[in-house]
Amino acid sequence: MQMRNARTAPYLFLAPFVISFLIFGAYPIVRSMILSLYITSGPEAQHFVGLDNYLYLLRDPDFWTAFSNTATFAAGSVALQLPLSLGLAILLNRPDVRGRDVFRFIFFSPNLMGLVFSALLFMLILAPRFGLLNASLHALFGLPLTTRWLSTPELVMPALIMVALWLYTGFNMVYFLAALQSVDGELYEAATIDGAGRWSQFWHVTLPGIKPVLIFVVVLSTIGSFQLFELAFLLLGNSSGPDQAGLTIVMYLYQNGFLGGDLGYAAAIGWTLAGMVLILSLIQLRITGTGKEDR
Amino acid sequence: MADIAFRGVNKIYPNGFQAVHNLDLAIKDGEFLVMVGPSGCGKSTTLRMLAGLEAISSGDLLIDGKRVNDLHPRTRNIAMVFQSYALYPHKTVQGNIEFPLRMAKVPAAEVKARALKVARMLELEPLLQRKPGLLSGGQRQRVAMARALVRDPVAFLMDEPLSNLDAKLRVQMRAEIAALQRRTGTTTVYVTHDQVEAMTMGDRVAVFKDGHLQQADTPQQLFERPLNTFVGSFIGSPSMNLITSRIEPGGDGLTLTLAGERIALGRGLEARFEDPGGAAGLVAQVGLRPEDVVDPHLAGEGQRLHGRVVLTELLGREQMVYLDLHDSTRVVARLHADHRLHAGEEVAIGIDPARLYLFRADGNALSYR
Amino acid sequence: MRRAIVYSLLVVFSIGCLVPIVWLVVSAFKANADFQAYAFVPPVDRLTMANFPSLFKQMPFLRFMVNSFFVAGATVIVQLFFSSLGGFALAKYEFAGKKAIMGVMLATMMIPGPVLLAPMYELIYHLRLIDSHLGLIVPGMVNVFGMFLFRQSMLSVPDEMLQAARMDGCNEFQIFWHVVMPVSRPIVGAFCLIAFMGTWNSFLWPQIILQSSDRFTLPIGLNQMVGVYEADYGAMMAGTLLAVLPVVMLFFLLQKEFIAGLTKGAVKG
């Protein structure tokens, strides 16, 4: 009896999770693939079109606008956030820094605001005339108060990248700091005795030590950036912004699927996004050489 | 209180490894049995089968004559103390001790009373409200014992309970556990790899090797009448010297040829072995305990061996002398330190034939009387 | 000298992080008329509480708050139970199919969420849960990341402790409930905070599902209000401030656990 108990227990324990996973995780994934082969009008009317959704999508200039906006945002965010958060983490990890926990909390605090509420806040911060950003730039550098960040097409993405920078730099820094702290201190002592300077210590001890976390953060940031929606949608007043400068892939999905009612097309957009993200992640992993060496 | 019996018990893991071979072992009610052996010998597996934490592959496990192979640990009413103590870190000492009673749905008032009684017995009363993290190793050990005792189990299992303590505390706890067991009279099965622990604590000691039970006997019997060379050399420290030799008839009784020197055994062996004469002509392994080496001046004629000292270790009043006989067989002797020996010296050692152990070439001892 | 540079860099970035938050707090107490006049901080005597009554008058803010608490609370509790139990099974038992289950779960973690929007809408539509709170809670029951977080953490609960519990008379569920969960308290705290923040800030799915304003959660409700009362900046900031407070308080309650939980998967995985 005892052995039977211990044998059936794990299945019983997993059952709630696995059953709800099958219904709300696995089934939708499979259903999504099928759905992407249909044109639909709401959940009821469906018409099989094969791969037409994908072919149409590749020819739709709006999709390519969304893609280029999203890619710009992702590239800009990752390129600014990561060096900055790693730099801050390295500064905080210096043994002579006091108040490490306080700084860590301060850097992390924007993240507590959350994406949606940050967007609501930045709607005002970025406003012309009385917005905090323009007022600060005016006070510090004498720039005009009238810069319209969210209604000038060229400034929309820089503005979004800046908000994301404010939101996520501290979040990533927490990961980097934890990784830095887990690097064995004796390695630095050994490197010092072996005659390595600061730069070579960073290159030969720090970087290899935090490499798994570095890759983890890079890949996750890229995947997350490619799913940009809330920030743009809210900041641009539930629209895609001037000249569609704030149209993102997920916003394109939302507009077609839920404002336009074509769930099949939405599924096709979703899988196209998934494919892009997968390819990008694989490229990143290949470049960094993960998986080739054993850790 | 219970009799425990293993009848032809085997343990084979799914990967094909057989951890216990055809074990027959009976443990009497109230007995303190110690299972000892090197790591991987099957002693812990045996204990865990008894606890119900491992399934028995074949054979029967009986508690008070009832087959319990398929019973859940909690219905066997057996308590166990683990090597890591496995105290629940989020519960106080009191919470830990009371936990098995609460799981058994014992009424709350009785739970309190029984926990308090056991806590008093183990002098844990002042610590009842502390969390295990704040206790010393010895205190944690006692909490683990209290948690086991509080249930009034039919048997008490301990898996290397002292191995996480420092040497001094270990000696103290050794005595405490033994005293506690005598007081409660609960059948106890104790697993250790330390033969000193085994010899000092157990009513009986079961020696395991490679999944086979070698011998289960009182400490004295194990020491004086080891059934094979493994038991002979495992029990006692430093280990018994084993020297291959031929036994021949000669003169008054038998003679041995050890490292080219002849040793007259005389009649000394007859008190211990059934038929020493029958061993004539055998190639044997002769066991000589280091502490049985005697002053050569006291030894009889033809009862000396000669060799060269390789190394000595001074241990207060005694010295451990490592020497090579003429055929470079290494022998360890434990001698009085009055006359210190030094490396390179040629010395003689005396042998008392009555204290030699004789094993056949296959490692089994000659039949004891 | 070098230390001075390090500190000034840290302080500059700290200011960058904090100023918008301070500005939010100040703006919540700023009269609408003063937004133009005082871009930074108005004189203290001009600060006002008026934005809060105005907020409650303009929209069912309390309703949004209650809805958000209900949805987030229910989601976290269901997720916690399912994920911890599943994580325990995967951490501490060997059974046929374990590797397959873990492999499938890990694979689905790679698929971005938007892929599921269309089929999930269809599913929820057929379950007749459109425009209901259940339609928010039910798809959120599955938290694969959370389950792996629990598995990772429970791997380090010593086997001997589970065996001791088994000897002490626990059945397998009691082992989980009386021993493993209390020992895993830090990870439970971290999980609750992460899951709560996720649901509290969830926008896209509620935006798709919810239609009636009395079912709106805070993000949806506040965003709608921006469209309707564009000029009432003070009330908007007051609402944002109130919306953020629960997360901040929960964070202060659980921050130690949170940092540990956040980095656990990354550093060890």
CA nearest to A157, candidates A220, A75, A85: A75
* C214 contact A CB<8A: no
- The Cα of B185 is separated from the nearest Cα of chain A by a number of Å equal to 28
* C168 contact B CB<8A: yes
Q: Which residues of B touch C160 (CB under 8 A)?
A: 82-84, 86
pLDDT at C77 over 50: yes
Q: Which residues of A touch B72 (CB under 8 A)?
A: 1-2, 5
* B305 shares its domain with B331: yes
Percent of chain C's residues with pLDDT above 70: 93
Higher pLDDT residue, B305 or A295?
A: B305
How many whole angstroms separate alpha carbon B49 and alpha carbon B58? 11
Q: Could you tell me which chains touch chain B, where touching means 3 or more CB pairs under 8 A? A: A, C
Higher pLDDT residue, B74 or A127?
A: A127
- Residue of C156, C166, C167 for testing the chain B interface, max B β-carbons within 10 Å: C167
pLDDT in tens, B317-338: 999 999 998 888 899 999 988 8
- Residue of A36, A40, A70, A116 for testing the chain C interface, max C β-carbons within 10 Å: A116
- The Cα of A164 is separated from the nearest Cα of chain C by a number of Å equal to 12
In this prediction the ipTM stands at 0.90
Instruction: Say what the pLDDT of residue C2 is.
Output: 80
Please compute the mean of the pLDDT values over residues B105-132 and round it to a whole number.
93
CB–CB contact B103 C161 (8 Å): no
Question: Which amino acid does the sequence have at B145?
Answer: M
- For A217, the domain range is 54-288
Per the CB < 8 A criterion, the answer to whether B352 and B303 are in contact is yes
Query: Searching chain C, which residue's CA lies closest to the CA of residue B74?
Result: C169
* C156 contact B CB<8A: no
B22 found inside a domain: yes
The most confident of A101-105, B338-342, C29-33, C131-135, by mean pLDDT: C131-135
The number of domains in chain B is 2
SS (H, E, C) chain A: CHHHHHHHHHHHHHHHHHHHHHHHHHHHHHHHHHHCCEEEECCCEEEECCCHHHHHHHHCHHHHHHHHHHHHHHHHHHHHHHHHHHHHHHHHHCCCCCCHHHHHHHHHHHHHHCHHHHHHHHHHHCCCCCCHHHHHHHHHHCCCCCCCCCCCHHHHHHHHHHHHHHHHHHHHHHHHHHHHHCCCHHHHHHHHHCCCCHHHHHHHHHHHHHHHHHHHHHHHHHHHHHCCCHHHHHHCCCCCCHHHCCCCHHHHHHHHHHHCCCHHHHHHHHHHHHHHHHHHHHHHHHHHCCCCCCC
* C139 contact A CB<8A: yes
Q: Supply the mean pLDDT for chain C.
A: 89
CB–CB contact B86 C168 (8 Å): no
* B148 shares its domain with B271: no
Q: List, as one string, the DSSP characters of B107-124.
A: -HHHHHHHHHHHHHHTT-
Instruction: Say what the pLDDT of residue A263 is.
Output: 93
How many whole angstroms separate alpha carbon C104 and alpha carbon C84? 18
Q: List, as one string, the DSSP characters of B9-40.
A: EEEE-TTS-EEEEEEEEEE-TT-EEEEE-STT
CB–CB contact B100 C169 (8 Å): yes
* B30 shares its domain with B177: yes
B333 found inside a domain: yes
- Residue of B15, B101, B103, B111 for testing the chain C interface, max C β-carbons within 10 Å: B103
* B64 shares its domain with B210: yes
- The Cα of C183 is separated from the nearest Cα of chain B by a number of Å equal to 6
* B174 shares its domain with B66: yes
Q: Three-state DSSP class for B65?
A: coil
How many whole angstroms separate alpha carbon A194 and alpha carbon A294? 25
CA nearest to C242, candidates C48, C56, C17: C56
Distances (CA, A) of A100 to A174, A184, B305, C20: 11, 19, 73, 22
- Residue of B48, B68, B70, B74 for testing the chain A interface, max A β-carbons within 10 Å: B70
Q: Which residues of C touch B104 (CB under 8 A)?
A: 169
Higher pLDDT residue, A234 or B250?
A: A234
Which DSSP letter does residue B324 get? Answer: E
How many whole angstroms separate alpha carbon A113 and alpha carbon A168? 11
Query: Searching chain B, which residue's CA lies closest to the CA of residue C174?
Result: B103
Q: Which residues of A touch B71 (CB under 8 A)?
A: 1-2
- The Cα of C121 is separated from the nearest Cα of chain A by a number of Å equal to 8
pLDDT in tens, B124-135: 999 999 999 889
| Integer-rounded Cα radius of gyration of chain B | 25
Please compute the mean of the pLDDT values over residues A34-44 and round it to a whole number.
89
pLDDT in tens, A154-188: 999 999 999 999 999 999 998 999 899 888 888 88
Question: Strands B254-258 and B187-192, how do they pair?
Answer: unpaired
How many whole angstroms separate alpha carbon B192 and alpha carbon B169? 16
A27 found inside a domain: no
Backbone φ and ψ for B10, nearest 5 degrees, come out as -120, 150
CB–CB contact B91 C174 (8 Å): no
A163 found inside a domain: yes
Instruction: Say what the pLDDT of residue A1 is.
Output: 39
pLDDT in tens, C154-190: 998 999 999 999 999 899 999 999 999 998 888 899 8
Per the CB < 8 A criterion, the answer to whether B113 and B152 are in contact is no
B251 found inside a domain: yes
Q: Could you tell me which chains touch chain C, where touching means 3 or more CB pairs under 8 A? A: A, B
pLDDT at C233 over 80: yes
Which CATH number characterizes residue A161's domain?
1.10.3720.10
Burial level of B131, CB count in 10 A (0-12/13-18/19+)? middle
Instruction: Say what the pLDDT of residue B236 is.
Output: 87
The number of angstroms, rounded, from the C-alpha of A171 to the middle of its chain's C-alpha atoms is: 11
CA nearest to B73, candidates B197, B157, B133, B15: B157
- The Cα of C6 is separated from the nearest Cα of chain A by a number of Å equal to 7
**CA atoms lying within 13 Å on the CB side of residue C17:** 27
Q: Is A243 left (phi over 0), alpha (psi -120 to 50) or beta?
A: left
* B73 contact A CB<8A: yes
The number of angstroms, rounded, from the C-alpha of A25 to the middle of its chain's C-alpha atoms is: 21
Q: Three-state DSSP class for B253?
A: coil
Instruction: Say what the pLDDT of residue A290 is.
Output: 64
Where does chain C hold its CATH 1.10.3720.10 domain(s)? 58-268
* A2 contact B CB<8A: yes
B365 found inside a domain: no
| Residue A286: how many other CB atoms lie within 10 Å | 11
- Neighbouring-strand partners of residue B312: B321
Please compute the mean of the pLDDT values over residues B188-202 and round it to a whole number.
93
- The Cα of B73 is separated from the nearest Cα of chain C by a number of Å equal to 5
Instruction: Say what the pLDDT of residue C155 is.
Output: 92
Q: Could you tell me which chains touch chain A, where touching means 3 or more CB pairs under 8 A? A: B, C
CB–CB contact B88 C174 (8 Å): no
Query: Searching chain C, which residue's CA lies closest to the CA of residue A282?
Result: C110
How many whole angstroms separate alpha carbon C240 and alpha carbon A247? 25
CB–CB contact C219 A112 (8 Å): no
Which DSSP letter does residue C128 get? Answer: T
pLDDT at A2 over 50: no
Q: Which residues of A touch B55 (CB under 8 A)?
A: 3
* B37 contact A CB<8A: no
* B256 shares its domain with B229: no
CB–CB contact B86 C170 (8 Å): no
How many whole angstroms separate alpha carbon A164 and alpha carbon A78? 10
* B196 shares its domain with B301: no
B107 preceded by a cis bond (ω within 30 of 0): no
Instruction: Say what the pLDDT of residue C215 is.
Output: 94
Query: Searching chain A, which residue's CA lies closest to the CA of residue B72?
Result: A2
CATH number of the domain located at residue range(s) C58-268 in this protein? 1.10.3720.10
How many whole angstroms separate alpha carbon A201 and alpha carbon A196? 6
pLDDT in tens, B276-333: 777 777 878 889 999 999 888 887 777 888 899 999 999 889 999 999 988 888 999 9
- For B85, the domain range is 4-234
How many whole angstroms separate alpha carbon B63 and alpha carbon A125? 78
| Residue B342: how many other CB atoms lie within 10 Å | 10
Q: Which residues of A touch C120 (CB under 8 A)?
A: 24, 28
* B213 shares its domain with B253: no
Instruction: Say what the pLDDT of residue A3 is.
Output: 46
CA nearest to B162, candidates B210, B135, B211, B198: B198
How many whole angstroms separate alpha carbon A240 and alpha carbon A255? 10
The number of angstroms, rounded, from the C-alpha of B98 to the middle of its chain's C-alpha atoms is: 32
- A-B contacts at Cβ under 8 angstroms: 11
How many whole angstroms separate alpha carbon B190 and alpha carbon B159? 6
Backbone φ and ψ for A172, nearest 5 degrees, come out as -65, -35
CB–CB contact C167 B79 (8 Å): yes
- The Cα of A105 is separated from the nearest Cα of chain B by a number of Å equal to 28
Q: Which residues of C touch B90 (CB under 8 A)?
A: 182-183, 185
Q: Which residues of A touch C147 (CB under 8 A)?
A: 17
How many whole angstroms separate alpha carbon A255 and alpha carbon A246? 13
- B-C contacts at Cβ under 8 angstroms: 62
Higher pLDDT residue, A251 or B246?
A: A251
- Residue of B82, B98, B164 for testing the chain C interface, max C β-carbons within 10 Å: B82
How many whole angstroms separate alpha carbon A182 and alpha carbon A209? 8
A37 found inside a domain: no
A45 found inside a domain: no
Instruction: Say what the pLDDT of residue C263 is.
Output: 58
* B179 shares its domain with B275: no
pLDDT in tens, B64-95: 999 999 888 878 889 999 988 999 998 999 99
Query: Searching chain B, which residue's CA lies closest to the CA of residue C168?
Result: B100
- What the block records as the tokens of B46 is 């045996």
DSSP element (H, E) containing B243 = strand B241-249
Please compute the mean of the pLDDT values over residues C52-72 and round it to a whole number.
92
**CA atoms lying within 13 Å on the CB side of residue C167:** 36
How many whole angstroms separate alpha carbon B301 and alpha carbon B295? 12
- The Cα of A2 is separated from the nearest Cα of chain B by a number of Å equal to 4
* B214 shares its domain with B111: yes
* B91 contact C CB<8A: yes
The most confident of B324-328, B361-365, C91-95, by mean pLDDT: C91-95
Per the CB < 8 A criterion, the answer to whether B49 and B11 are in contact is yes
Which CATH number characterizes residue B30's domain?
3.40.50.300
Query: Searching chain B, which residue's CA lies closest to the CA of residue A2?
Result: B72
Q: How far apart are the first and last CA of chain C?
A: 39
- The Cα of C104 is separated from the nearest Cα of chain B by a number of Å equal to 26
pLDDT at B26 over 50: yes
CB–CB contact A20 C82 (8 Å): yes
pLDDT in tens, B43-69: 999 999 999 989 999 999 999 999 999
Last residue of a domain, one of B234, B263, B283: B234
* B69 contact A CB<8A: no
Instruction: Say what the pLDDT of residue C264 is.
Output: 53
Percent of chain B's residues with pLDDT above 70: 99
* B249 shares its domain with B228: no
- The Cα of A4 is separated from the nearest Cα of chain B by a number of Å equal to 9
Q: Is the dihedral of CA C120, C121, C123, C124 positive or negative?
A: positive
* B304 shares its domain with B200: no
b/e for B154-168, b at 16 or more Cβ within 10 A?
Answer: bbbbbbbbbeebeee
Q: Which residues of C touch B99 (CB under 8 A)?
A: 165, 168, 178
pLDDT band at C1 (very low <50, low <70, confident <90, very high): low
Instruction: Say what the pLDDT of residue C229 is.
Output: 64
The number of domains in chain A is 1
Angle at C267 between CA C264 and CA C269, to 5 degrees: 85
* A7 contact B CB<8A: no
pLDDT band at C61 (very low <50, low <70, confident <90, very high): very high
Query: Searching chain C, which residue's CA lies closest to the CA of residue B150?
Result: C168
